[in-house]
Structure 1
């Protein structure tokens, strides 16, 4: 009975089709054979975002390490209405070697990079011009010490109130490494209500922590993910911290002290206990749990697998995922390093990164892998779950992944021959309904669809539940909470949901969660 009901919903929403191209192949309708124009030869793409209008932003650097953004039309050609012929560059001091971007609700682009003086944050108008209303110049430089130690910025996120959090590797005045976070007001000034003078520094795990990912939960709490190395590299572990809105560690609700460190193996420096794990990427699953991935090498490994850990919302490992919350997936002869995670609306997990074939690291493909929500490889994607691609015979690297409203998959990175690139892959069939092993919450029906200012959802509960009903964007970020932890009795329910007037047109997901499982359906706002 449940299967028949799901099928009816798929047909009503107009997203069930009888035939789909193979998942994990390049989309021939994008650019040339699935590859967009090459905007910056010898540059690299480190961040890819999809705007509500379907245009694609790629952020990275140029050959001289200037900050760089290119905007592409949905067909893979450069958008000449952005910057100069679709491209924007900004030279700070020649140290833009990593980059991250975030989009404000008003369409402005926040660009995180590094300078010799510390964290660098730029803001651009939607047309690519620098936004001089941001700190008076469009640029904010921040640091954590006064002794000249280099602070390296990496991720950036925007809170619902418009405040901007930038993260990375910070040093105190003794040169000790920390997770470092800084929060700015929307105008670029320091938010002194956060931490100490707008800054938070956290020791975590081994002596050399590295913060690579940031995310904001629906309740406003802040997640910082990365890894923590030793002085001799190994042992190295995944590292995760959660902060309250004011920047204090969430010691009451997340692990024992607001911090989590986890190894895949025995956590040793050498020999039979050798354990070197790094986490470059983090994302929320649609069940609200936390996914992390990067690289892993244990004693006895001849190749590096794809490693994934999944955590519950309290910081404990999710034992329903893989083996005790962990997966190490080998696909020899390649060794893998994952740099970005995205989660489809059906809960499947996409990862992009690098597949290496020699110890020098100079013979690489960029790759995309897909796993089921329970951690099993999705063999319908690419070749046995992994799509390998190459633009030249030497070095190709994937750094960032994003999912379009139509579920197509975007990758950006670096090619030895072509520099910055963007590629698009076909997803195959992607169900509009996200069913995460929940018998307690039966499938939901949403109408009308598309929606304008309100939507009506119908669902059935097998028992009394405390529910949250959320609206998220296609990247999983909560944009509106309709109800939070409210009790609903067993039976059939109908709820009228009113959207905020400022909500931009685009594709969103309405989800119902009881804290353990969730159901979601894709809707279009016009």
Structure 2
């Protein structure tokens, strides 16, 4: 068996899907200390969907001790409600974040579930909280982390700007953050968008996304660092700005994932060389960059700080990153999406894509039977796409997202496990 092969002891020959009875897709993954897998995403049509959370046993079977036969749905509004992030706190509770009431005009929301899948009534109001940063435009959490004090930090959007929010373990706004407000809209660059978040041991945190640099028609990878209280960190980035933008080839480059290596260096991943600003068209390639702890592009990584992998002549990209014990960059996303994936749109025609780079940014030739550093998994020849990746205690690689299966075909939560 080769690293990158499907692990046939997981699910059915290495893959599994979860059917909520209607269209669904997993956007996020958290792995419990017992290697159970918690998937969070959307259940139902885009315009009227609800939050969906599923828990799988270590081997990929639905966990009947969680929710209703392994499934939980949370209905906030009659409009679009989507879970985009999930984490496990120190008590084993499950914290989920996202948005409710549509991304263009909705609110940030968090929910906390007990380990059995019930809403935790000690959190917020009956287990959920909602907040607005921008009073009229859309607000959303796209990534979250839980710090050593149990505070929940979220990053995403607040109207036209990036949004940050920190709440306490009870769901109240953290008055030690953002000048006492607990939430803020922060302008980063010309038009920054945030999709990923990582917490540093110092209490500072880094965010990743993309920025329209000098024009609204070209986006570049964006990495920014904030102090523990929510201010852009003047010790980081270009000329003390707190952020760094990176262009690949004068086309649109969209970062959706971030990982921290043991040295503290910061790795971003996403879609590169799209011919439009939303990542919809062109021969988009999976791409990565690495930065020093001060935010400078690390030219010892890949080729002058950048790596691209291009399995097909249509859309290939990255949605999640995890760093393994050898500092290799393990990434999940999609391969061969005919129309690419604008942001986190539902997959149409592609496959799960799993990529592994060496610690220095080269395609890992020990990964995948073809020795190219990537593998492609198709479930049933419909639209499949990976959204998040994690490592179980064995080092095995778990990717979650959506897969179109069944008769009639339907997009479902999906997971696959790979040998490491």
Q: Given the alignment, which residue of 23, 35, 38 partners 1:57? A: 38
Match of 1:131 in 2: 120
* Aligned residue among 348, 366, 377 for 2:363: 377
In the TM superposition, residue 355 of structure 1 has moved relative to its aligned partner by 1.0
Aligned CA distance change for structure 1 residues 39 and 358 (closer, same or farther; 3 Å) = closer
Please say if residues 365 and 397 of structure 1, whose CA atoms lie closer than 8 Å, have aligned partners that are also in contact.
yes
192, 195, 215: which one pairs with 2:178? Answer: 195
Tell me if the contact between 1:37 and 1:76 (Cα under 8 Å) persists in the aligned partners. no
Unaligned 5+ segments in structure 1 are 1-20, 172-176, 267-274, 428-526
Given candidates 131, 148, 157, the residue that maps to 1:142 is 131
Deviations 1:268-316 (A, max 9, x none): xxxxxxx2010011111122110001111167x9622221000000000
**Are residues 1:412 and 2:397 paired?**
no
TM-score (norm 1): 0.71
1:252 — aligned with what? Answer: 235
TM alignment of 1:491-506, pairs within 5 A: none
Counterpart of 1:157 in structure 2 is: 145
Q: Which residue of 1 is the match for residue 345 of structure 2?
A: none
TM-score (norm 2): 0.89
1:305 to 285, 292, 297: 285
Aligned to 1:389: 377
User: How big is the shift at 1:403?
Assistant: 0.5
Residue deviations 1:321-345 (CA, integer Å, cap 9, x gap): 0122111223334531210011110
Say whether residues 1:221 and 2:204 are aligned partners: yes
Alignment CA distance shift 1:211-1:198 (3 Å) = same
Shift in Å, 1:265: 2.9
Question: Would the aligned equivalents of 1:70 and 1:88 in 2 still touch at CA under 8 Å?
Answer: yes
In the other structure, the counterpart of 1:283 is 259
User: Residue 344 of structure 2 corresponds to which residue in structure 1?
Assistant: none
Q: CA RMSD in A?
A: 1.9
Match of 1:235 in 2: 218
Q: 1:8-87, aligned counterparts within 5 Å?
A: 21-40=1-20, 41-64=22-45, 65-87=49-71
- 1:307-456 to 2 correspondence within 5 Å? 307-356=287-336, 358-359=338-339, 362-382=348-368, 383=370, 384-417=372-405, 418-427=411-420
Quote the Cα distance in structure 1 between the aligned partners of 2:154 and 2:269.
Answer: 20
After TM superposition, give the deviation of residue 132 of structure 1 in Å: 0.8
Within a 5 Å distance, the mapping from 1:96-135 to structure 2 comes to: 96-116=81-101, 117-135=106-124
Matched, 1:265 2:265: no
Change (3 A) 1:288 1:28: same
C-alpha separation between the residues in 1 aligned to 2:416 and 2:236? 40
CA distance in structure 2 between the aligned counterparts of 1:140 and 1:36, rounded to whole angstroms:
32
CA contact (8 A) 1:365 1:395 kept: yes
Q: Deviations over 1:50-103 (max 9, x none)?
A: 110121111112125211111111121111111111111111114223511011
Contact kept? 2:17, 2:403, Cα under 8 Å: no
Structure 1 contact 280–293 (Cα < 8 Å) conserved? yes
1:200 Cα shift?
2.6
Tell me if the contact between 1:291 and 1:309 (Cα under 8 Å) persists in the aligned partners: yes
Cα distance, 1:232–1:259 mapped onto 2, change above 3 Å: closer
Query: Would the aligned equivalents of 2:213 and 2:220 in 1 still touch at CA under 8 Å?
Result: no
- Measured in 2, the distance between the counterparts of 1:373 and 1:422 equals 25
Task: Say which is worse superposed, 371-380 or 329-338, in terms of deviation.
Answer: 329-338
Q: Is the 8 A contact 2:17 2:412 kept in 1?
A: no
Q: Deviations 1:215-265 (Å, cap 9, x if unpaired)? A: 110111011111124798521011122111111221034441212222113
Determine if contact 2:315/2:340 at 8 Å carries over to the other structure: no
